[in-house]
Amino acid sequence: MLSILSWNIRQGGGTRTTKIARKLIHQNAEVLVLSEFQNNANGALLRSHLLKAGYLHQGVGHTTDLSNTVLIASKIPCDFIQCPEADPNYSASIIRADFGFIHIYGMYLPHKKKHRLFDFLKSDLENNTSSILVGDFNTGKQHIDQKGNSFMYSEQLDALEDMGYFDAFRRMNGQVKEYSWYSHQGNGYRYDHTYLHKDLMPILKDCAYLHDWREEKLSDHSPMIVTLK
């Protein structure tokens, strides 16, 4: 089996970094996709903890400041591909890990800002059909992944489905109302997703959120874990 855990760790982890590392190591997923990772001292500390725990293969978006990016850490050998051409304003928002037949796109898409990242994804996926898109999409389906209709780029999820990709959580859980992030007003949003190509559908075993990690205030997002058999 292969488990992939994705999590927005909130502004690089900060003082929560060591606790975040302990949770991740205890969960023991084979592949980690961490969004809002930052290339700073806390980022180096987190990577060191993961390295000691067997996550020997690590790829991170190239940033030179404290902007948010994505870290993919894997116990399985893989090749990492940077995607700076995806959008000149968000050149570190997507990183790809190639595991031979399967390609994993780790993503942290901007919240309510114009970008071309979905256009890049649709183009790149034409050459990498057996793919998994995972991370903080900062969008969802209107009236399904939130009560209202305030999402930007919701139609891009429909376009992914037209290309043969499916929402792993919905495939396993139907139309259940479950959210991965809450506003200060208590409104829930499902920003964090995993989309798999239809060729991978037969090996999808489970997809669920770990809400207790958010409730413990390790981050303001709930991690998602996907299991393939």
Tell me, what's the pLDDT at 4? 98
Instruction: Report the share of the chain in percent with pLDDT over 90.
Output: 94
Structure tokens at 221: 């997002």
Q: What span, in angstroms and rounded, lies between the C-alpha atoms of 2 and 203?
A: 10
| 98-128 tens-digit pLDDT | 999 899 999 999 999 999 999 999 999 998 8
Q: Give the integer Cα–Cα distance in Å for 70 and 97.
A: 11
Decide: 31 and 72 in contact? Cβ < 8 Å.
yes
pLDDT digits (tens, 9 = 90+) for 175-215: 999 999 999 999 999 999 999 999 999 999 999 999 999 99
Pairing of strands 2-8, 31-37: parallel
3-state secondary structure the chain: CEEEEEEECCCCCHHHHHHHHHHHHHHCCCEEEEEEECCCHHHHHHHHHHHHCCCCEEEECCCCCCCCEEEEEECCCCEEEECHHHCCCCCCCEEEEEECCEEEEEEECCCCCCCCHHHHHHHHHCCCCCEEEEEECCCCCCCCCCCCCCCCCHHHHHHHHHCCEEEHHHHHHCCCCCCCEECCCCCEECCEEEEEEHHHHHHEEEEEECHHHHHCCCCCECCEEEEEC
**Across the strands, what pairs with 202?**
none
Strands 131-136 vs 102-108: parallel, antiparallel or unpaired? parallel
Is-contact 80 95, C-beta < 8 A? yes
Amino acid, single-letter form, for residue 175: Q
pLDDT by residue (tens digit) across 130-159? Answer: 999 999 999 999 999 999 999 999 999 999
| Residue 189 CB coordination number (10 Å) | 20
CA 137/CA 142 separation, integer angstroms: 14
| Tokens 């090749």, located at residue | 79
Total domain count, the chain: 1
The two structure tokens encoding residue 52: 């000691």
Domain of 59: which CATH number? 3.60.10.10
**Where in the sequence is the domain holding 70, given as residue range(s)?**
2-228
The pLDDT assigned to 65 comes to 76
